[in-house]
Amino acid sequence: MYGDDRDTVYKTDYRDNEGTGALTNYMSHDQQQIRDRAGREMSDEELDQFDARSEGQRNRHIIISPDNRHGLSEQEMDRATRAYMSEMVEDRPTADYVYAIHDDKEDEQDIHIAMTASDKTDLEMYPDDIREERQRAHSRYQEQQKEQQQEKEQEQEQQIPHWKRQERENEQEIERGMGR
């Protein structure tokens, strides 16, 4: 129904001793808002502080392009990104990150993540790790799509008149009774 993890593109790049300044500058092109771990839009001052903390440290740039044929809103993309990153940094104690959602292409959104860490091992990713992270990212965005679909169905259900919903529930109860 929702495809497999190949529907999600996951790219990553690692840099030693560069900090995140150039990366966050790129991420904010075309007035894109950069957000912190809590999903709050960062001020220029907060972003400068993040970049200053990363000065001379390692960084990892992650780009996630989830299959979005079901049309996730920016808010839903944001929620899925935070859920994914929360899991990713759970076992990476020195890692910190910021992210931006880009609408660069028609009907396609990319999430750009700038990670930094004082401990190199918190940013290490080998080919198997990247495959695993792509699968995990794919799962988070698919879960968000399923939640979106359920919310739409509930909204549609609420628009059905009360008497019609009651009639439908009675029919379902009769069918369950006959199946015994």
What DSSP element (H or E) covers 29? none
pTM as predicted: 0.78
What DSSP element (H or E) covers 125? none
Number of structural domains the chain divides into? 1
Per-residue pLDDT at 6: 61
- The predicted model gives 154-160 an average pLDDT of 71
Buried-exposed string 78-93: b where 16+ CB fall within 10 A, e elsewhere: bbbbbbbbeebbeebe
Lowest mean pLDDT among 40-44, 124-128, 155-159, 176-180: 176-180
φ, ψ at 64 (rounded to 5°): -120, 125
CATH of the domain at 152: 3.30.930
Burial of 106 (0-12, 13-18, 19+ CB in 10 A): exposed
Range of the structural domain that residue 88 is part of: 5-178
